[in-house]
């Protein structure tokens, strides 16, 4: 067997289940397969091997789900790929092949079944990896921060449950002014390069990753500047589905326990104990028409509001790749500032239903901060946002500063009162990532630089009485 060309990537993981992305290579058009075997850490015997076919249709990649696992347990696994002379193999006949597994052993941990146990998460967005003639330029710069994320995840107490990646994991348009990529093969090449650098590969092989796209997975400020380039969109979104959506909860499981390839939308939900996440697609479902301007489509908004109202979760995290608040002073209207009616509907739903412990997780702006939102006539209303961006900035792009945002007047004014915001941290204006520890009384947020040094800390209070 050969070492994987991309991966393994640990995706959606629960108390008894995980999904693992694997990619091989095309070799003389021979039928290709990827395989996994696993065991509990400390055991000597491996499980029966699991295999999946690799085809050019999915860029020689696939996802294998492991089921019937034990909760809060560390597992070891090996993964690789190989070719055969026949494409008609079954799981049973593949098991009979004399395969020599790659020597590297990877590890992951399933989530705890204890509802109220503290949990921690790594959060980040906007990793710029410049490509020149198809080759990464200074790849170590774009990969360095993942080493710090990995080291912290390994020693985190409580153990890190996931890495939440809120957008711009890949810059399809990194050379947009000079030579924008729009061909499928070029976009796939960027994903392979971005996800196969040594530090991000080490991290994603062990820590469950949850991803959602933003504009640079397609084009800067898409769709406002789309120019009806359907070829670019089709190619970019197909690559996104292969490398980011494939191992996410958006794919339901078939009766045999493997991910169904049917894909209705990109937004999804997942839960861990008494914490729940709603990861929105705030990019591809936009409506820019003047009579019904919205950043989330009708179905997604309805699902989000229904979840906010009815979910019994103690803490509800809403991921949006662009900022809900504070608003930027810029005039591009790419974030929620440009969709005030829908933003107000969401905030008013939270306020009228007295929903507590709602935290918006976001990135995009190349600056990090925490911020609290309150209402002038409703002392019970309070929501928070945590912004983490960028993992690696481009030399061409500025960092956000406090002066970037509108902080001296209400976010929104309504007949029943005004929404006022207040920064609860300084604005980090350098490459960084966030470590979030969710306890019983508060969320501790620590921002780290690419060397693993703490830049600043903040705390988000939690309300224990949810009645």
Q: What is the pLDDT of residue 92?
A: 86
Q: Which of 160-169, 359-368, 458-467 has the lowest mean pLDDT?
A: 458-467
Q: What is the pLDDT of residue 428?
A: 98
Which letter does DSSP use for residue 340 in this model?
Answer: H
Q: What is the pLDDT of residue 165?
A: 98
pLDDT-derived band at 179 (thresholds 50, 70, 90) equals: low
Q: What is the pLDDT of residue 326?
A: 98
For 358, the enclosing helix (H) or strand (E) is strand 358-362
- Averaged pLDDT for residues 318-336: 95
SS3 category, 312: coil
pLDDT digits (tens, 9 = 90+) for 203-236: 999 999 999 999 999 998 989 876 667 889 999 9
Q: Pick from 227, 141, 142, 214: which is nearest to 182 by CA?
A: 227
Would residue 452 be called left, alpha or beta, if left means φ above 0 and alpha means ψ between -120 and 50 degrees? left
Query: Which tokens sit at 181?
Result: 């990529």
326 CB-near residues (< 8 Å, 6+ apart):
371, 405, 406, 407, 411, 421, 423
Query: Which tokens sit at 254?
Result: 């078939």
pLDDT digits (tens, 9 = 90+) for 26-38: 888 889 999 999 9
Sign of the C-alpha dihedral computed for residues 238, 55, 258 and 38 taken in this order: negative
Comparison of pLDDT for 261 and 437, the residue scoring more: 437
E-only strand ranges, 137-294: 160-165, 209-211, 268-272, 275-279
- Averaged pLDDT for residues 425-439: 98
Q: What is the pLDDT of residue 133?
A: 61
Q: How far are the Cα atoms of 118, 316, 437, 460 from residue 441, in angstroms, in the given order?
A: 10, 14, 11, 9
Q: What is the pLDDT of residue 132?
A: 66
For residue 176, pLDDT over 60 is answered with no
Q: What is the pLDDT of residue 177?
A: 52
Q: What is the pLDDT of residue 227?
A: 66
pLDDT digits (tens, 9 = 90+) for 396-407: 889 999 999 999
DSSP 155-198: H-SSPEEEEEE-S-SS-TTTTTTT----SHHHHHHHHHHHH-SH
Cα 324 from Cα 319, distance rounded (Å): 10
- The H-assigned helical ranges of 30-138 are 91-95
- Averaged pLDDT for residues 279-291: 94
Cα 87 from Cα 406, distance rounded (Å): 60
Cα 145 from Cα 147, distance rounded (Å): 5
- What is the distance between the terminal CA atoms of the chain, rounded to a whole angstrom? 56
For residue 331, pLDDT over 80 is answered with yes
Q: What is the pLDDT of residue 467?
A: 45
329 CB-near residues (< 8 Å, 6+ apart):
403, 404, 405, 406
- Averaged pLDDT for residues 94-119: 94
SS3 category, 422: strand
Domains of the chain: 6-109 (2.60.40.10), 119-461 (3.60.21.70)
């Amino acid at each position: 067997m050969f070492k994987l060309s991309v991966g393994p990537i640990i995706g959606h993981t629960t108390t008894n289940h995980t999904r693992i992305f694997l990619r091989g290579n095309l070799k003389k058009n021979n039928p290709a397969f990827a395989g996994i075997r696993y065991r509990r850490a400390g055991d000597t015997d491996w499980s029966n091997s699991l295999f999946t076919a690799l085809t050019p249709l999915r860029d020689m990649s696939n996802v294998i789900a492991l089921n019937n696992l034990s909760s809060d347990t560390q597992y070891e696994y090996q993964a690789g790929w190989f070719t055969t002379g026949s494409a008609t193999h079954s799981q049973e006949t593949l098991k009979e092949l004399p395969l020599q597994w790659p020597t590297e052993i990877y590890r992951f941990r399933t989530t705890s079944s204890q509802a109220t146990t503290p949990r921690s998460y790594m959060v980040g967005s906007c990793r710029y990896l410049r490509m020149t003639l198809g080759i990464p330029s200074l790849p170590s710069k774009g990969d360095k921060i993942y080493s710090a994320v990995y080291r912290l995840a390994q020693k985190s107490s409580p153990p890190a449950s996931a890495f939440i990646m809120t957008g711009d994991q890949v810059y399809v348009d990194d050379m947009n002014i000079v030579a924008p990529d729009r061909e499928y093969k070029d976009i796939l090449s960027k994903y392979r390069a971005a996800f196969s650098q040594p530090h991000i590969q080490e991290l994603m092989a062990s820590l469950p990753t949850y991803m959602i796209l933003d504009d640079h997975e397609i084009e800067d400020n898409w769709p406002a500047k789309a120019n009806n380039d359907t070829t670019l969109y089709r190619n970019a979104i197909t690559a996104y589905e292969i490398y980011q959506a494939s191992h996410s909860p958006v794919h339901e499981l078939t009766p045999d326990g493997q991910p169904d390839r049917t894909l209705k939308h990109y937004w999804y939900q997942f839960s861990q104990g008494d914490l729940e996440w709603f990861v929105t697609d705030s990019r591809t479902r936009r409506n820019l028409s003047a009579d019904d301007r919205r950043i989330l489509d009708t179905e997604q908004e309805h699902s989000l509001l229904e979840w906010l109202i009815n979910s019994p979760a103690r803490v509800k995290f809403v991921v949006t790749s662009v900022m809900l608040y504070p608003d930027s002073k810029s005039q591009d209207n790419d974030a929620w500032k440009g969709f005030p009616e829908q933003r107000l509907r969401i905030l008013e739903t939270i306020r009228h239903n007295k929903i507590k412990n709602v935290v918006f997780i976001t990135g995009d702006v190349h600056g990090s901060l925490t911020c609290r939102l309150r209402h002038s006539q409703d002392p019970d209303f309070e929501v928070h946002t945590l912004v983490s961006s960028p993992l690696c900035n481009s030399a061409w792009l500025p960092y956000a500063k406090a002066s970037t945002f509108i902080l001296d007047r209400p976010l929104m004014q309504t007949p029943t009162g005004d929404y006022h915001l207040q920064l609860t941290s300084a604005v980090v204006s350098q490459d960084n990532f966030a470590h979030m520890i969710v306890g019983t009384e508060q969320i501790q947020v620590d921002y780290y630089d690419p060397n693993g040094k703490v830049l600043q800390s903040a705390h988000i209070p939690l309300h224990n009485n949810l009645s």
